[in-house]
Amino acid sequence: MVDLSQELFGTTFQNPVLLASGTCGYGEEYSDLIAVDELGGIVTKAVTPERRLGNPPTRISETPAGMINAIGLANVGLDGFKREKLPWIREHLSRAKVLVNVAGRSVEDFVGVVEGLEDEDGFLGYEINVSCPNVEGGTMFGTDELSLAQLVAALRRATRRPLVVKLTPNVAEIGNFARICEENGADGLSTINTFPGMLIDVETRRPVIGNVTGGISGPAIKPMGVFATWKATSRVEIPIIGIGGICNARDALEYILAGASLVQIGTAMFADPFTAPDTIRGLREICERQGVTRAADLVGALEVR
C-alpha cells in the first residue's frame, strides 16, 4: 500500500494533488463530476476586497499546448465569498485542504481580505497571488523585491494560518524572490503563476484577448515551471507547491522530484475534469511499480548527476 500523504503546514494532506486557483472555482463547480473531498485540496479563485466584474471579452483562447487568459480577477469579493462560497466549502470539504487565494492592489487590500477571513473556519490558509499590479508602486508585487517583502511581512503580522506566496515566473532570478518570502515569514511557496503573453489575430490585426495581454498556462509552460520549482527549492527551507502544465502523474512527479511537496493542476482540468483524480491514481501506480512506499520520500529526490 502506497502512502501518498504529505505532512506540511502543521497538517496532513491526504495526497499531494490540489486544484489550482482560478481553474476550479470554489470547488462546488466540479462536485457534480468528481469527488472533490478526495483530492489533496483546492485553491479558490482569487478573493479581492470588493466584488470584481473582471475584464471585457475575449478573456481566453487556446495557444500551442495551452491557453492564454485575462480574466481580470473576476470574483465575488470578500463578503460574497463568506456569504455564498465558504458555506459550501465548510459543509463539503473536510479531508481536502482549502487555501484561499488572495489578490489586491495594495498591501491594505491583501491584509483586509486576510483579516476579514481570520475568524472564519472551513479553510486551512492563504495563497497570496502577487502577480497583481501594485497601484502604489506601478509594478507587480511579485516582480519588485521591496514591495514583496513589505507585503509578506504585513500579511505575516495579520495571520497565524499557513501563508503561502504564489510566485510569478516573470523575474530574472526566482530564487531571490523565494528567499524574500521566507525571510519575511511565509510558510510556503507556490511556483508558478502564468507567463505573460500575447496572441494576435492576423486578419483583424488586433489582439485576440480583450485585455491585449494575458497569462499563458498549460503543458507549454511545464518545463519552465519545473525549472522555477527546482531553482526555488535550492534557496529556501519552506515547502513548495509545484504548478504549471501538469496533465498526469508523470508531470506531477517531475515537480515532486524537483522539490515540490504538493502540486496543483489548473488548465488540464479544462481539458478533462478527471485529470486530478486520474493523477492521484497514477501517482499510486508509479510508486507501486517503483517500489516506493511513501510518496513523501520522492520530494526533491532528483539526482542531478
Partner 1 sequence: MIRSWSPVVARERVAEETFWLEFDAPEIAEQAAPGQFVMVGFGASSWGTPFLPRPNSVAAAPDGRVGLLIRVYGAGSRRISELALGERVLLLGPLGTRFELGDARNVLCIAGGVGLAPFLLLPRWLDRQGREANLRLLYGERVGAVVFNPEKIQEIAGIEADIWTEDGSRGSRGTVLDGTGLDGADLVLSCGPTAMLKAVRSLARTAGVPCQLAVEEHMACGMGTCIGCAIPTIDPETGEDVYSLVCTEGPVFAAERLRW
24 is a contact residue toward partner 1 (CB under 8 A): yes
Q: Which amino acid is at 277?
A: P
Burial 153-170 (b: 16+ CB within 10 A, else e): bbbeebbebbbbbbbbbb
Query: Half-sphere exposure (CA, 13 Å, Cβ side) for 275?
Result: 25
116 marked as part of a ligand binding site = no
Interface with partner 1, residue 223, by CB under 8 A: no
Asked if 98 is part of the footprint of partner 1 (rule: CB under 8 A), the reply reads no
Concerning whether 181 is annotated as a catalytic residue, the answer is no
Do the beta carbons of residue 277 and residue 259 sit within 8 Å? no
In this complex, which beta carbon is closest to partner 1, that of residue 138 or of residue 204? 204
For residues 2 and 36, which CB has a smaller minimum distance to ligand FMN in the complex?
36
* Cβ proximity to ligand FAD, 213 vs 290, nearer residue: 213
| Contact map string, positions 241 to 280, toward ligand FMN, x by CB under 6 A | --xxxx------------------xxxx------------
Query: Which of 48, 168, 211, 267 forms a contact with partner 1 (CB under 8 A)?
Result: 267
- Residues between 24 and 63 with contacts to ligand FAD, criterion CB under 6 A: 61-62
Closest to partner 1 by CB, 175 or 273: 273
Query: Of the ranges 8-16, 67-75, 142-150, 161-169, which one interacts with partner 1 (CB under 8 A)?
Result: 67-75
Does 91 help bind ligand FAD (rule: CB under 6 A)?
Answer: no
Of 212 and 271, the one with the shorter C-beta distance to partner 1 is: 271
Our finding on whether 33 is near partner 1 (CB under 8 A) is yes
What does the per-residue mask of binding to ligand FAD show for 61-80, with x meaning CB under 6 A? xx------------------
The answer to the question of residue 176 lying near ligand FAD (CB under 6 A) is: no
Task: Verify binding: residue 108, ligand FAD, rule CB under 6 A.
Answer: no
Which residues, at least 6 apart from 286, have a Cβ–Cβ distance to it below 8 Å? 249, 250, 253, 292
Q: DSSP letter string over the chain?
A: --B--EEETTEEESSSEEEPTTSSTTSGGGTTTS-GGGSSEEEPSPB-SS-B--PPSP-EEEETTEEEE-----B-HHHHIIIIIHHHHHHH-SSSEEEEEE--SSHHHHHHHHHHHTT--S--EEEEE--SB-TTTSSBGGG-HHHHHHHHHHHHHH--S-EEEEE-S-SS-HHHHHHHHHHTT-SEEEE--PEEEE-EETTTTEESSTTSEEEEESGGGHHHHHHHHHHHHTT-SS-EEEESS--SHHHHHHHHHHT-SEEEE-THHHH-TTHHHHHHHHHHHHHHHHT-SBGGGGTT-----
Binding-site positions for FMN: 21, 45-46, 101, 129, 166, 192, 218, 244-245, 266-267
Binding stretches for partner 1 (CB under 8 A): 22-25, 29-30, 32-33, 45, 53-54, 56-62, 64-67, 69, 71, 74, 218-219, 247-248, 267-275
Instruction: Return residues touching ligand FMN (CB under 6 A).
Output: 20-23, 45-46, 69, 71, 73, 101, 129, 166, 193-194, 217-218, 221, 243-246, 265-268
By CB under 6 A, name the binding residues for ligand FAD: 61-62
- Active site amino acids: 132
